[in-house]
Amino acid sequence: MKRFHTSLRMISLCACFILICVFYLVALVNLQITGQDYYTIIQEEATTRYVSLPAKRGEIYDRNGKALVINTLRYNISLEYGAMPKAKADFNAVILNTLSAIRAGGGTSCITTPTFPFDGSYPNYTRNENFFESASNRTKFAALQRRLELLDGTTDENMLKYLRERYGLITYDWETDSYIENYSAEDAQTLLAIRFDMEYMQFSRVEPYTLATAVTMPTLTYVKELSIGQVMITEEEERTYIYDGYASHILGCIGKIPAEELDYYLDLGYSGDAYVGITGIEKVFEEHLRGANGTLAIVEDAYGNIISETIVKEPISGKDVYLTIDIDLQMSAENALRDNIEIIHERAAASGGKHDGEDASSGAAVAVDPNSGEVLALASYPSFNLSDYLENYATYANNPVRPLYNRATLGTFAPGSTFKPGVAAAALEEGVISVYTTIVDKGAYDFGDYHPRCWIYLQKGQTHGAQDVVQAIQNSCNYFFYETGKRLGIEKMNEYSRKFGLGEKTGIELSESAGILAGPDYSASMGNIWNPGNTLQAAIGQSDNMFSPIQLAVYTSALINGGTRYRAHLLSEVREFPNGEVVKRNEPEIIAKVNFQDGILSTIKSAMKDVVESGSAARIFKGYDIAVGGKTGTAQVGTDRSDNALFIGFAPYQNPEIAVTVVIEQGANGTDAAYTAKAMYDSYLKGVHYETKYKDLEILP
């Protein structure tokens, strides 16, 4: 009987065990095959959003590998479009709460100023006319109106009312037939400006909206601890200019895509709010410097918790650009040019004379490797700082001395006597004169009814007497070149000038002027008739001749390197990051070649050596320990201001490594422009960096 009860218990336990197993088996089948559990629900409610991973922009270096423009990290506080609540009130609450957190964390100064085209205080606004002076702003504003489906004739008052309703700042009360303000005037003003800016900048899933930039670590830490779900801390690479204030006209800067170029960049795959090169090297070499942004996929559950983050596409860094510029020479050129201009201006002002340089205020200096066309320095004065270019653009743009204007490539100037060596070379090659030809300077040149006079006759009532070509260049004898120009003729004169690169673009990557080559063609284009007497003036670098400093440097290079004109260029190499592999190397490119007879160019070089040793530039180079050559020029620009001062030169004399051009507007005397050239030789050939203001002042008595 006892054994029977024991067996019954065992059977009962086994039955219970089997029932439990069956229960769990059924539940498991239901769970895996036909049922839906919590995790399935969560999975179905999970959403995936994609965030752009910014690529590193390439950096810019000089010819010696010295960094000019680099990237430094800054931290921004932004809002994620995909995480923002749909309800207007909740959306606004996120903005206000985040701003409050930034301020509480000590980051008030980091809060960005939103773009807002109206002045005044909430709710009374007037149109900001300065905003609409920008073509870019007008274009973007019109595009926003179209997106909002507002008619072109919509008044500002109606648009503002529409926006206030759209953003939930006011609510219409049907019972009272009036609008109710939902926020204080201060909060409403903040929300209106920010939410307008969000739409103006096209806040979207791929473009977060930045509320604060360059945020300090204490502020970041404070905001992070509040765990506001819609806030994202982003790292952004900011362009840092190692030598800020130098090479500004060369390097350029980056900024938001200009409205007129938006379609172009969108076709290339840029986002509408992307930063691109907008001036200088940053713009010219955008294709190399830009990287390719990556993509991060973020999966979140229904409660906004991040389930996973996956890099869908890795960002690709931009390439580094190496320039032909020598930054030490560039700084010396800019410093010396500044001092040169100030010395001339202050000396003339103190003397009390008229048109002696008291109006000197701007100029340019260029250095080129005559054996390759590599641009070693490209200085324009006055200049500006790239670090505050965008912030202070209006101030720079409205400055009457035009610091944003690149005089080195865009400015054009009558070359004056710096044109004479080229005329002499052409005349020798064409055989209209020889090294033995002597022309007697009689003061006033007899050309029918036209009697142009030599400069020494005008100033002192004297003449140069008998002059050969070397003496004529050394003494800058106008009379000699009147006769030489008449013999050579304007057609041949211009044929050689073009081969030297005058009146032709140099090929430099920056925007440049083609200049003006005086002659029948140009006169006809202006509705004028070219008279034979104009040829005499053209031969001494006057008439309509107008060339840029970079053109004059290329011309000088061709005179001293055997007659070869190279394309001027700033790009040396493009290298991959981070391995430094060279993917593009810019080789010298010959644009034109003049095969001069033996001895002609050596004669010109010898004459230019005499200019600095015993001619018009001797007082600048007295006792100089490097043999150099050069030519001064003083070009008339009217009777109401001082003449322009010019100098072209090269060094060392035997095997030139550097050709320079210096132009000082209203510098009065070409000799004084050689001051900057000497400082550039010191820097490039001796490693002596020019910094001290008014160094060697005694050379400009």
Residue with tokens 């107008």: 546
Tens-digit pLDDT profile for residues 655-664: 999 999 999 9
Structure tokens at 264: 């172009």
The average pLDDT across 174-178 equals: 89
CB 427 within 8 A of CB 433: yes
What pLDDT does 48 receive?
83
What pLDDT does 152 receive?
77
Q: Is the dihedral of CA 109, 111, 115, 117 positive or negative?
A: negative
The average pLDDT across 544-550 equals: 98
Q: How confident is the model at residue 697 (pLDDT cuts 50, 70, 90)?
A: very low
Looking at per-residue pLDDT, the higher value among 497 and 275 belongs to: 497
What pLDDT does 259 receive?
79
Q: According to the 3-state scheme, what is the secondary structure of 272-284?
A: CCCEEECCHHHHH
Percent residues over pLDDT 90 in the chain: 70
Reported pTM: 0.80
pLDDT higher than 50, residue 39: no
What pLDDT does 698 receive?
46
pLDDT higher than 70, residue 171: yes
Beta sheet of 362-368, edge-to-edge order: 375-381, 362-368, 658-665, 644-651, 629-635
Q: How confident is the model at residue 35 (pLDDT cuts 50, 70, 90)?
A: very low
What pLDDT does 42 receive?
47
CA of residue 281 relative to chain centroid, distance = 6
Tens-digit pLDDT profile for residues 117-127: 999 999 999 99
What pLDDT does 526 receive?
95
User: How far from each other are the two terminal CA atoms of the chain, in whole angstroms?
Assistant: 138
Topology of 327-399+414-692 in CATH? Beta-lactamase (3.40.710)
**346-355 burial, b if ≥16 CB within 10 A, otherwise e?**
ebbeeeeeee
- Rounded Cα distance between 636 and 668, Å, is 9
**Average of per-residue pLDDT values in the chain:** 90
Write the class of the CATH domain 49-322: alpha beta
Tens-digit pLDDT profile for residues 76-132: 999 988 889 999 999 999 999 999 999 999 999 889 999 999 999 999 999 999 888
Tens-digit pLDDT profile for residues 345-371: 989 988 888 899 999 999 999 999 999
pLDDT higher than 90, residue 460: yes
CB 662 within 8 A of CB 332: no
What pLDDT does 642 receive?
95
Tens-digit pLDDT profile for residues 179-216: 999 999 999 999 999 999 999 888 887 678 999 988 98
pLDDT higher than 70, residue 693: no
What pLDDT does 699 receive?
44
Tens-digit pLDDT profile for residues 417-427: 999 999 999 99
Q: How confident is the model at residue 25 (pLDDT cuts 50, 70, 90)?
A: low
CA of residue 291 relative to chain centroid, distance = 18
What pLDDT does 356 receive?
92
Indicate where the chain has its CATH 3.40.710.10 domain(s).
327-399+414-692
What pLDDT does 700 receive?
47
Indicate where the chain has its CATH 3.90.1310.10 domain(s).
49-322
Q: With CA atoms as reference, report the closest residue to 377 among 68, 692, 635, 694.
A: 68
pLDDT higher than 60, residue 403: yes
Phi, then psi, of 195 in degrees rounded to 5:
-70, -30
Q: How confident is the model at residue 701 (pLDDT cuts 50, 70, 90)?
A: very low
Helix, strand, coil tally for the chain in percent (to 5): 40, 20, 40
